[in-house]
């Protein structure tokens, strides 16, 4: 059976496009208390402020553009669609703007709202969530950002581990490893490649055959060649 290439990304993939990461100095968690706007239950007591936070994030991504790393991933997905899986922790739409199809967004998608009762998902694009568009048309309950908050169940993790069963080459781009243990993910792959801007205490270097400590944009050409070599060697 052919082994797939799985490209797994985090906030570092979009950092060069001007989207703030969470843990960097002056990142989102430096400016906001996650217990108030991104923790399970915060919608029950802090609904308006939580909605405002995600309204700002939706507005922020509207004019952002994909960088060379997004485009590299999109090109591989288009050319080798049946052999490439694109999985991201990011909630932005830059992979889609680059033309990437069938992206698995593990933690949700900013351009969607979800009913807090019947789970219906609606697409709002970059629209601001207001009182007028915050009611589910199916059941009348409140809508919320379709984002997985800390402490909530992440249903798409099941799909992640499903796809990892056929992983030959794992490419990890721009994640600290603090939310999802990429050391563990690497064990599913025959070959694992890591690209981060800098070292992370949560990631063990010995789990990866190649490591690029640099911006995702500058590393994209090297990663592109790694994927080409893997494909040309007949693994897919």
Chain centroid, CA 49 distance in Å: 23
Residue 136 counted as an annotated binding residue: yes
How far is the C-alpha of 180 from the C-alpha of 46, rounded, in Å? 27
Nearest to 14 by CA among 82, 77, 79, 96: 96
> Which position among 32, 65, 70, 107 bears the catalytic label?
107
| Active-site residue, 105 included | no
Residue 167 counted as an annotated binding residue: no
DSSP character at residue 218 = H
Residue 207 counted as an annotated binding residue: no
Give counts: helices (H), strands (E), the chain. 9, 9
Cβ contact 58:49 at 8 Å:
no
- Cite the annotated binding site for Zn(2+) by residue number: 115, 118, 136, 139
- Cite the annotated binding site by residue number: 115, 118, 136, 139
Give catalytic residues, as residue numbers.
107
């Amino acid at each position: 059976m052919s082994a797939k290439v799985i490209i797994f990304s985090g906030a570092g993939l979009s950092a060069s496009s001007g989207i703030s990461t969470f843990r960097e100095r002056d990142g989102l968690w430096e400016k906001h208390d996650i217990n108030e706007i991104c923790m399970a239950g915060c919608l029950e007591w802090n609904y308006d402020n939580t909605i405002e936070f995600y309204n700002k994030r939706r507005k922020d991504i509207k004019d952002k553009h994909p960088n060379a790393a997004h485009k590299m991933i999109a090109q591989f997905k288009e050319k080798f669609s049946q052999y490439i899986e694109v999985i991201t922790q990011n909630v932005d739409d830059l992979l889609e703007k680059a033309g990437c199809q069938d992206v698995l967004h593990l933690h949700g998608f900013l351009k969607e709202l979800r009913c807090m009762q019947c789970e219906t998902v609606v697409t709002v694009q970059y629209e601001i969530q207001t009182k007028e568009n915050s009611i589910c048309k199916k059941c009348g309950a409140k809508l919320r950002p379709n984002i997985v908050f800390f402490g909530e169940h992440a249903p798409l993790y099941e799909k992640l581990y499903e796809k990892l069963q056929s992983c030959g080459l794992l490419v990890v781009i721009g994640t600290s490893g603090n939310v999802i243990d990429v050391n563990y993910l690497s064990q599913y792959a025959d070959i694992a490649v890591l690209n981060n801007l800098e070292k992370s205490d949560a990631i063990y270097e010995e789990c990866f055959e190649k490591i690029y400590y640099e911006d995702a944009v500058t590393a994209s050409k090297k990663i592109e060649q790694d994927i080409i070599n893997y494909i040309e060697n007949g693994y897919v």
